[in-house]
Amino acid sequence: MTAQLIKGAEVAAQIREELKKEIADLKTLHNVVPGLVTVLVGADPASQVYVGQKEKTCKELGMYSERYDLPEKTTQQELLDLIKKLNQDPKINGILVQLPLPKHLNEEEVLIAIDPKKDVDGFHPVNVGKLMIGEPDYLPCTPAGIQQLLIRSGAKIEGAEVVVVGRSNIVGKPIANMLLQKAPGANATVTVVHTRTRDMAFHTRRADILIVAAGKAKAITADMVKEGAYVIDVGVNEIGKTAEGKRILSGDVDFEAVKEKARAITPVPGGVGPMTITMLMMNTVRAAKVASGLK
């Protein structure tokens, strides 16, 4: 049995078409245009690419966008002053400060300064707390993308044994919390394993749904996966380069071996990655509706 490929680009495209219609209706019926601002400090090449992708997506969907490119030497106070201004700007529904920030800046203080109602990344402690109690305003983008991939690929989440490999604040903890909630697309039994788990394979072999965010190439091998499982691979690891200098990427799962055992699996690249920006746009649309009293 060769696994069904869960292609994030295709699912993301489907969701974006839904968002286009929703945004068009907001404009026509309520004169509301969702607005997202991105703030980039310094000239990190990868961050510039990500911010550019977000700008492009806003334009494609018909959203309003602004971009601030700040010099590397920007001070903490200058960045906080900008965030304060954006918090008060009614055109802006979502504020995204691109991470990582230069080392002289305090990321935690910056993230806390963002108005929780405009925190479309879902990183503010208020939004983390709301997620914990099952009343989220915004779901963090990568975990939200994972949940949508599972739902739209036909995975039966309710009652399933889900094992999450990794306990980061960005992926592992929030997706575990989301899938155990008493809510649609959830109601699973969730186990989280990590680097201090005594027998990781014992747990992963029980998983109907295995979500891997370990940060280590090919950490999950075929003997660690249950026959017929849904496998979501969040990892992106550079394992070498071609003769032309192109990066060779691997996920946290041994894809070639596991795909012969799983029922469905995400590839790397092309799996979870394309979903993250789409979920950011979904959160921004939701923020615009909330700000306008429409939700």
Query: Has residue 99 got a pLDDT over 80?
Result: yes
Question: Coil, strand, or helix at residue 38?
Answer: strand
pTM exceeds 0.85: yes
- Among 98, 147, 148, 181, the one annotated catalytic: 98
User: Quick one: 92 and 154 in the same domain?
Assistant: no
Contacts for 268 with CB less than 8 Å, ≥ 6 apart? 233, 235, 236, 249, 250, 251, 253, 255
Q: Tell me whether residue 98 is one of the annotated catalytic residues.
A: yes
Per-position b or e across 244-275, b if 16+ CB within 10 A of its CB: eeeeebbbbbbbeebbebbbbbbbbeebbbbb
Query: Whole domain around residue 252: which residue ranges?
Result: 141-273
Query: 141 — phi, psi (to 5°)?
Result: -65, -50
Asked whether residue 192 is assigned to any structural domain, the reply reads yes
Question: Coil, strand, or helix at residue 9?
Answer: helix
In the chain, % of residues over pLDDT 90: 91
What's the token pair of residue 28? Answer: 């026509």
CATH code of the domain in which 86 resides: 3.40.50.10860
User: Quick one: 107 and 171 in the same domain?
Assistant: no
Q: What is the pLDDT of residue 1?
A: 66
For residues 120-130, average pLDDT = 96
User: Quick one: 95 and 182 in the same domain?
Assistant: no
User: Quick one: 67 and 187 in the same domain?
Assistant: no
Asked whether residue 87 is assigned to any structural domain, the reply reads yes
pLDDT digits (tens, 9 = 90+) for 194-242: 999 999 999 999 999 999 999 999 999 999 999 999 999 999 888 888 8
Q: Tell me whether residue 261 is one of the annotated catalytic residues.
A: no
pLDDT digits (tens, 9 = 90+) for 80-89: 999 999 999 9
- Among 117, 118, 119, 121, the one annotated catalytic: 121
Query: Has residue 107 got a pLDDT over 80?
Result: yes
Query: Has residue 295 got a pLDDT over 80?
Result: no
Asked whether residue 123 is assigned to any structural domain, the reply reads no
Residue with tokens 């429409």: 294
> How many residues belong to the chain?
295
For residues 291-295, average pLDDT = 90
Q: What is the pLDDT of residue 45?
A: 87
Q: Tell me whether residue 121 is one of the annotated catalytic residues.
A: yes
Average pLDDT value over all residues in the chain = 95
Please list the helix, strand and coil fractions of the chain in percent, rounded to the nearest 5, in that order: 40, 15, 40
For residues 109-134, average pLDDT = 96
Q: Number of structural domains, the chain?
A: 2
